[in-house]
Amino acid sequence: MACWWPRCSTMWTGRPAWPGGKTMAQDYGKVIPPVFDPEARKLRLAYLAFDERDATLLHELQELFHDNLHDITERFYQHLLGFEGTRRVFRDEAMVERLKQAQAHYLMESVRGPYDAEYFEKRWRIGWIHNAIRVEPHWFIGAFQLYHRILYPMILERWRDDARAVMEHILALDKVMNLDMQLGIQSYYVHYEETMETLRDLNLQIEAASVAKSQFLANMSHEFRTPLNAIIGFTEVLQDQIAGPLNADQSEYLGDIHNAGQLLLRLINDVLDLAKVESGRLELFYETFPIAQVVREALTTMRPAADKKGLAIEAQLPPELGAISADQIRFKQIVFNLLSNAVKFTDQGSITLTAAVEDGGLHLAVADSGIGIRAEDMERIFVEFSQVDESHTRRHEGTGLGLALSQRLAAAHGGRIWAESEYGRGSTFHVWLPLQKPVGGEGHE
């Protein structure tokens, strides 16, 4: 990799190199080892197998590069202009000139010698300095590849009549350039480790934020639900005319208040349940109950909303459906949410719930003749607080929690939910739940 500062080769000596008189060793002494492992150094130098013949070859390359230095640095600069980031940096002519000087200095230093252990150790230390100040890995690899593309043709042209000389000079140059490749690999490893560490820290922060959010939602939902239950309760007292008779308008207004309160209570309960699931505080209470009975109860609850829109709603249940072991309240909540979603997004036609025992579990399907879902929106339908952002669907009330919560509740039972849809022709939502509590599954029996 090219040395970007003319004095970088002296930075490790302890002479001032940074503003304020600090040295590279003072800034990066913790990350640049002052003494390299002797055995590792022996292996590196043995791998290079550098000898006096290589010194002679590199001296000849030095003369060749010196004669073509302007062309080499210009081609290197033109290559850098191919990147948008460097084009922004190199608008300053003074910066461009410093870059070219640094590249020329680096190239001539690489073939200057003396080629002994101290020389290679110095180049290795420079590379570690580049790593320490976070020079991007692609600079190392890019410089290595670029010099090959620029310098090899020059070597081929200079010794075009001597194939052996061409090979010897290329091998000698490679021994020097291979250090840059090793540093590039090291840099990639350093950046990879730093990235993974950053991701680990970020994941911990996200998890902590998620727990805090869930706790906040749970607390706030509880605070909202208490006064809301009082409003609904006193509304029911008034509707029962315990405090006195009501006229038609008063009965209608109280009905509106009661319905709105029930809707708000369901939304608050959904938020509370979702918060419990996310914070790991949702408990399942398993019991065995007849499937058909609970499904019909959920259907009966939704029938008034369907009748209000003129929708036909029915359940097609086989007589041999039997029983299931699950949390009955959560099971009914899943069925209710799927039916509610179908009623909400169906303006005309019908809604049909079917059930069957498949693969050791219960397969429920709720099919509607509603607006359907576009293919590109399918991934969003189970995301909390998300609805398909279409002008004709935004008029439907809701927070986008029902499907997300149902998916979490099904997963808590060891089941799954999925959907099929054709835009403009309706949707079918499926849920599969095991008939028995999964082995090792959480919950009380």
Per-residue pLDDT of 24-58, as tens digits, reads 333 333 333 333 455 555 555 555 566 778 778 88
Average pLDDT (382-408) is: 65
Residues 127 and 268 in one domain: no
77-89 pLDDT, tens digit per residue, is: 777 776 666 666 6
Task: Identify whether residues 48 and 185 lie together within a single domain.
Answer: yes
Is residue 268 domain-shared with residue 293, that is, in the same domain?
A: no
Assess whether 196 and 83 both reside in one domain.
Answer: yes
Whether 84 and 167 share a structural domain: yes
Mean pLDDT of 384-411: 67
What's the structural domain count of the chain? Answer: 3
Tell me how far apart the alpha carbons of residues 378 and 16 are, in angstroms, rounded to a whole number: 61
Shared domain for 407 and 316, answered yes or no, is yes
Domain presence at residue 26 = yes
Which residue, 186, 206, 226, sits at the end of a domain?
A: 206
1 located within any domain: no
If asked whether residues 236 and 271 sit together in one domain, one would say: yes
268, 321: one domain: no
- Residue 156 and residue 290 in one domain: no
Q: Are residues 248 and 187 in the same domain?
A: no
pLDDT tens column, 298-314 = 898 888 889 989 999 99
**Chain segment 113-166, per-residue pLDDT in tens:** 666 666 666 666 665 555 555 556 566 666 667 677 788 888 888 898 898 898
322 lies in some domain:
yes
Q: Answer yes or no: is 441 within a domain.
A: no
Choosing from 248, 279, 310, the residue where a domain stops is: 279
Q: What is the mean pLDDT of the chain?
A: 75
442 within some domain: no
Report yes or no on 445 lying in a domain: no
Residues 258 and 368 in one domain: no
Are residues 200 and 325 located together in one domain of the fold? no
CA–CA gap between residue 15 and residue 10 (Å, rounded): 7
Query: Picking from 108-112, 313-317, 372-376, which range would have the lowest pLDDT averaged per residue?
Result: 108-112
Give the CATH number of the domain where residue 74 resides.
1.10.490.10
Nearest in space to 3 (alpha carbons), one of 91, 122, 119, 127 = 127
Boundary (domain end) residue, out of 251, 279, 307: 279
Question: At 397, which CATH number?
Answer: 3.30.565.10
d(CA 246, CA 243): 9
Q: List the structure tokens of 165.
A: 């000389």
Is the per-residue pLDDT at 335 higher than 90? yes
How far apart are alpha carbons 279 and 218 in whole angstroms?
A: 9
Q: Domain residues for 266?
A: 216-279
Residue 43 falls within a domain, yes or no?
A: yes
List the strands of the sheet with 350-358, edge to edge: 312-316, 350-358, 361-368, 426-434, 416-422
Q: Where on the phi/psi map is residue 398: left (φ > 0), alpha (ψ -120 to 50), or beta?
A: left
- The answer to whether residue 165 sits within a structural domain is yes
pLDDT value of residue 311: 93
Share of the chain above pLDDT 70, in %: 67
- More confident: 187 or 379: 379
